[in-house]
Amino acid sequence: VIERASEPPSGEDRLIARYFRPLATHPGARGLIDDAATFTPPAGADLVLTTDALVGGVHFFVDDPPDTIAKKALRVNLSDLAAKGSAPAGFLLSLALPEAIGEEWLEAFAGGLGADAHAYGCALLGGDTVRTTGPVTISITAFGTLPHGRMVGRSGAGAGDLVVVTGTIGDAALGLLVRRDSGKAERWQLNHRQRDHLIERYLLPQPRNAIAQALQQHASAAMDVSDGLVGDLRKLCAASDVAADIDVVRVPLSDAARTALASDPALVEAALTGGDDYEVVATVPAPAIAALKAQARAAGVALSEIGVVRADRPQANFIDQAGKPLLFKRPSFSHF
C-alpha cells in the first residue's frame, strides 16, 4: 500500500482546499476536485464570455489590500458582462503566485473574492493555481447569460441615438495620480473625504450590473469604460460607423473630481482619457431614453445623458462650453 487518501496532499491541493473550496458553492464547481466544471445553460440563452487579467505592479499596487485586489479582478470582468446586458453566471480563476505570497494574503484574497462572488451572484466554478517568478497575476474568465441574440454590442449605434454614461467619470484616474503622489490631494485642495473617494474608486470599481437588463432592453450599443471615456467611445463609434458629439460639461463628475478640476483645469484630460472607470457608456434610441432612465433610477444607478450620435465618419468629439472640441495628447490608455 503506497498511496493513501490520508497522505498529505500536495501544496497546491492544500491551498485550494483551504482557501478556494469554501467559495465553490455552485454544484457545477464539484468542490474544485475535478478537472473541470459543468454549467447547464438556461434554455434559449446565449452565453456572454469575457476575460481580463490584472498584474501586480501594472494594474494594482502589490501592497494594495488583497481583498480589494480580488474584488477588482472579478469586478473588471463583471463590468464587461454588465455593459453587454447579461446577468453574471460564473467565473474561473487563474492565479499565478510568487513564493513571497503567504497564507495571510491568500486568506484575505479568497475572502474578498468570495464576498463579491456572493454579492454579484457570480459563482467560482474552477481555477488553476501556479507558481511564478514574476508578480501576482490574476486572470479571470467570467460568463453571463441573456436571451438568444440579445447581447448589446458596440456596433448598433445609429444617428439620432442619445449617448449616456453611468456613475461618474475620471475618479479612478485621478485617484491613481493621488496614489502615486500624495501631495496632489493638497495641491488640488481636496478634503480627506474627497481624497479617499478618488483613491477608493481606483481600488474598487463599482460595476453596473444592476442595469444590465435595462441596457439589454433599450441600448442600441454599449461598452464598459475601462481605458478612458474618449478612447472607448471612439471604439464604439468606429464599430458602429457613426460620430458622437459629447458636451464635456454634461460628463458626470464626482464632487471630488470637480474640486480637482477647479484647481487644475488641465486635469480634464486625465479624467476623460484615464482608465479604470468601469462605468458603462451606451447609445439609446431617443424614444427609449425615458424608460432606460426610469429603470436606472429604480436600480439606484446614476445615468447621465452626455451627447448625441450623428451620421458621419467615425469620431468622438468632446465639445467644451465655448463650442470648441477638446484636443487630447493620448485619447486612450494602453500598457503597450
- 128 or 181: CB nearest a copy of itself: 128
Q: How many CB atoms lie within 10 A of CB 200?
A: 15
What 15-21 contacts at long range (C-beta under 8 Å, 24+ apart), as own/partner pairs, is 15/106, 15/129, 16/127, 16/129, 19/106, 19/107, 19/109, 19/110, 20/93, 20/110, 20/124, 20/127, 20/129
- 195 or 331: CB nearest a copy of itself: 331
Three cell numbers written together for 147: 436571451
Minimum CB separation of residue 68 from a copy of itself in Å reads 19
Residue 329: which residues within 8 A CB-CB, separation 6 or more? 269
Minimum CB separation of residue 330 from a copy of itself in Å reads 9
Three cell numbers written together for 74: 472579478
- 68 or 226: CB nearest a copy of itself: 226
Minimum CB separation of residue 184 from a copy of itself in Å reads 24
Could you give the CA distance from residue 235 to residue 31 in angstroms, rounded to a whole number?
40
- 30 or 258: CB nearest a copy of itself: 30
Could you give the CA distance from residue 260 to residue 249 in angstroms, rounded to a whole number?
15
Minimum CB separation of residue 14 from a copy of itself in Å reads 8
Minimum CB separation of residue 199 from a copy of itself in Å reads 22
Three cell numbers written together for 203: 481600488
Dihedral sign for Cα atoms in the order 92, 97, 103, 107: negative
Helix (H) or strand (E) holding 7: none
- 51 or 217: CB nearest a copy of itself: 51
- 113 or 185: CB nearest a copy of itself: 113
Could you give the CA distance from residue 305 to residue 308 in angstroms, rounded to a whole number?
9
Minimum CB separation of residue 106 from a copy of itself in Å reads 11
Give Rg (Cα) of the chain. 21
- 1 or 266: CB nearest a copy of itself: 1
Three cell numbers written together for 127: 481555477
Q: How many CB atoms lie within 10 A of CB 333?
A: 16
Minimum CB separation of residue 255 from a copy of itself in Å reads 27
Minimum CB separation of residue 108 from a copy of itself in Å reads 19
325 DSSP assignment: B
One-letter identity of residue 129: T
Minimum CB separation of residue 97 from a copy of itself in Å reads 8
Three cell numbers written together for 130: 501556479
Could you give the CA distance from residue 192 to residue 204 in angstroms, rounded to a whole number?
18
- 213 or 263: CB nearest a copy of itself: 213
- 34 or 255: CB nearest a copy of itself: 34
